[in-house]
Amino acid sequence: MDHEQLDYRRVSPRLIPLRQINNAIGFGFFFLALLVPIVIVNAVNSTFFSMNSAAYLLYVLPVAVLVWGIVLACIIPRQVRAMGYLEQQDDLLLRRGILFRNQVAVPYGRIQYVDIRQGPLQRAFGVTQIVITTAGGGTASTFEGLVMPEAERLRDELTQRGYARLAELGQS
């Protein structure tokens, strides 16, 4: 069956502003860190925006970081809309990504435990992060953007299906 045609459940749109804030904080600190050498060079030279070969890079890097941050801010809504999950009979499908798509199938019989995580910003926006740890190396699949009631329902459902698969294996 073509995975593009499946009816994935979408994550909460509340994830968009949360990611926008995280993006602004991350790029903001990086941008400010790149501005410090400019301030120091200009304080020493006392000629603002002097464009010699070394100083040129001091001005280009913060502008490049700022542009990249703005581009990423424009992409975030589409990234969040591309995220989804689908509970199938034998496994849970997790999908994310626009250009670089990532689809993960987590078999219920391999699930060891399901963890719900929620930091302060996630709590403020009412979203969670689910971490599914599987047997055989303890690989974890992380998925974010679910509201708490849905995350709790999914955790309980995955745990129940995992136990059911384990019981089926024990009877074989």
Comparison of pLDDT for 165 and 172, the residue scoring more: 165
The pLDDT of residue 157: 93
Q: Which two tokens stand for residue 121?
A: 């910003």
Query: Over the stretch 109-164, which tens digit does the pLDDT of each residue have?
Result: 888 889 999 999 999 999 999 999 988 766 788 999 999 999 999 999 999 998 88
Across the range 5-18, mean pLDDT stands at 92
Query: Over the stretch 36-80, which tens digit does the pLDDT of each residue have?
Result: 877 777 777 665 555 566 667 777 888 898 999 999 999 999 999
Across the range 89-96, mean pLDDT stands at 93
Task: Give the DSSP per-residue string, 111-124.
Answer: EEEEEEE--HHHHH
d(CA 125, CA 132): 22
The pLDDT of residue 50: 53
The pLDDT of residue 51: 59
User: Helix or strand or coil: residue 23?
Assistant: helix
* Residue 2 in this model has a pLDDT that exceeds 70: no
